[in-house]
Amino acid sequence: MTELYTNLSDIQADLQQGKTSVVKLVEEYLSQIKLHSHLNAFLEVFDQEALGCAKALDDKIKSGKAGKLAGLVLAIKDNICYKDHKVSASSKILEGFTSIYSSTIIERLLAEDAIIIGRTNSDEFAMGGSNETSHYGPVKNYADTNKVPGGSSGGAAVAVQAGMCHAAIGTDTGGSVRQPAAFCGSIGLRPTYGRISRYGIIAYASSFDQVGPLARSVEDAAILLEVMAGADEYDATISHRPVPEYQKDLAFKGKKKIAFIEEALTSPGVDQEIKDVLLQYIEKLKSEGHIVEPISFEYMDYVVPTYYILTMAEASSNLAKYDGVHFGYRSPNATDLESTYKKSRSEGFGKEVKRRIMLGTFVLSSGYYDAYYAKAQKIRRLIRDKTLEILHDYDFILSPTTPTPPFNIGENIKDPIVMYLEDIFTVQAALAGIPAISLPLGNNAAGLPSALQLSGKCFDEAGLLAFSKYFLELSKN
């Protein structure tokens, strides 16, 4: 492949000058998809459709009427509904299901002339952190095919990593954009809860789910956020705040106050190289005149259990509709209504999804509701309050994105506790509803992508993105 573009603006400049065409770009991505099919990143490639759109877009560009995203070839995670296209949440229970409408974000992306090249593999119903729970098999990390790409948006991250598209759209319930971005070397942004419409996104845990971009540059993450964000009458939890022109406002000046999570440097569970990277950036920021101070987050031990109790409870309710009657898989072995429900669900859902539905049902059941669900709700409030308190005193919170580098396929899947603990640094933002971004910082000694996470104040994506751009420039010095 010719050298990958980092910025959409460079693609657009080359398109204007006739140095390339959208058809040529799509053809190149399609050939990369073919070349890297063993990575298992795509569940379906919309090749003919993407080429058709590319031809039409080349004409539109000539007429000077193309949208903001002209030239951007995108992959979408397989839990985002796109009218007349299959969507399965990487689950057998939705095998063969075709969406009858488009999510709000798809409509907005298409209206600005993005081209959607295919749907990407993910953990089943976005439940996982390694892309190993997919009914369609694991995705492999392009940097080392024995390693996981992270999850649940693992296919999206690898599609960007291996040049199979320019950027991708994932969803982040507790880290599913940021963690795979960290494991595959791209930028992954989780916006503030309520910034982007969830309409047409297959729900996992509704009070946590957010859409987010995986991109090669902060500029592109900004423009994708700008296009997708904003009020939507189909999402009752959306914010009606105006959407800033994020991409125009990326200049950073001044000095900031940054807190870093002290436990990240002291905990034996955090990889030494990740600690070293964190320390190195703390020193860099200090030498640039920023205030960088350690804080101890007193609820650190509670973030993972609270996240899992609440998301499993919400998942058990959200997934009740997959009953073998309304849509998706129906067991051929069923003989009556009850066995249709039982057999379709038993055969249609994978092990991890069933574990979560059962645990979620348990924590919501009378007799246990107060001890688990209600208590977890209270702890979520404490975590949110404490997080917002920190962000009252500081502009950003700096932490690793993940406690470990990409791990081996098969290494953690047998032990859910080990797998869930991988989310230790990403679930705080999800519980608190704040925006957070994972920033790629080169490779570790083993040649695997390395990253850090910055979290910011609610609805200050503009500040977070501008600082992220500056932070990445700092990494080059």
- Applying CB under 6 A, the residues found at the interface with ligand GLN are 126-129, 152, 172-176, 204, 311, 423
Provide, rounded to whole angstroms, the least separation between the CB of residue 420 and ligand GLN.
7
- C-beta of 222: minimal distance to ligand GLN in Å? 22
Nearest C-alpha neighbor of 73 from the set 228, 183, 220, 201 = 220
Nearest to 168 by CA among 231, 133, 121, 237: 121
Minimum CB distance to ligand GLN, residue 416 (Å): 9
Angle (CA) 306-309-310 rounded to 5° is: 85
CA atoms in the 13 A half-sphere facing the CB of 303: 22
Active-site pick, 90, 99, 152, 217: 152
Q: Which is nearer to ligand GLN, 256 or 355 (CB)?
A: 355
Considering the complex, state which of residue 88 and residue 173 has its C-beta at the smaller distance from ligand GLN: 173
Q: 199, 26, 210: which is closest to 118 by C-alpha? A: 26
How many helices (H) does the chain have, and how many strands (E)?
16, 11
Distance, CA of 444 to CA of 448 (rounded, Å) = 5
Measured over the CA atoms of residue 212, residue 9, residue 29 and residue 142, the dihedral's sign is: negative
Please tell me the distance from the alpha carbon of residue 90 to that of residue 20, in angstroms, as a whole number. 35
- 50: nearest Cα among 101, 98, 110, 7: 110
Please list, in sequence order, all residues whose beta carbon lies within 8 angstroms of the beta carbon of residue 64, skipping any fewer than 6 positions away: none
For ligand GLN, give the closer residue by CB, 175 or 328.
175
Please, what is the minimum distance in Å from the beta carbon of residue 409 to ligand GLN?
Answer: 16
Beta bridge partners of 86: 98
91 labelled catalytic = no
Residue reference for tokens 């609270």: 306
Contact 413, 370 (CB under 8 A): no
- Give least dist CB 132 to ligand GLN, A: 11
* 9 is a catalytic site residue: no
Smaller CB separation from ligand GLN, 245 or 415: 415
Dist CA 292 CA 393 (whole Å): 12
Largest Cα–Cα separation, the chain: 71
- Shortest separation between residue 215's beta carbon and ligand GLN, angstroms: 18
Q: From the CB of 355, what's the least distance to ligand GLN, in Å?
A: 11
Q: Give the β-pairing of 436-443 and 187-190.
A: antiparallel
DSSP 3-state percent helix, strand, coil across the chain (nearest 5): 45, 15, 40
Select 202 or 225, whichever has its Cβ closest to ligand GLN. Answer: 202
Are 141 and 160 a contacting pair, CB within 8 Å?
A: no
Q: Is 378 a catalytic residue?
A: no
Cβ nearer to ligand GLN, comparing 175 with 194: 175
Q: Which is nearer to ligand GLN, 21 or 186 (CB)?
A: 186
**Cα-flanking dihedrals φ and ψ of residue 228, to 5°?**
-85, -25
Which of the following is catalytic: 77, 140, 147, 457? 77
Cβ contact 435:190 at 8 Å: yes
Choosing from 88, 90, 176, 197, which is the catalytic residue? 176
- How far is residue 175's CA from residue 171's CA, in Å, rounded to a whole number? 8
Please, what is the minimum distance in Å from the beta carbon of residue 228 to ligand GLN?
Answer: 17
Q: Is the CB of 58 or the CB of 172 nearer to ligand GLN? A: 172
Asked whether the beta carbons of 340 and 334 are under 8 A apart, the reply is yes
Which of 134/152 has CB closer to ligand GLN?
A: 152
Q: Least distance (Å) from ligand GLN to the CB of residue 242?
A: 27
Residue nearest to ligand GLN (CB): 176
Q: What is the C-alpha separation between 425 and 407, in angstroms, rounded?
A: 16
Residues annotated as catalytic (active site), given as ranges: 77, 152, 176
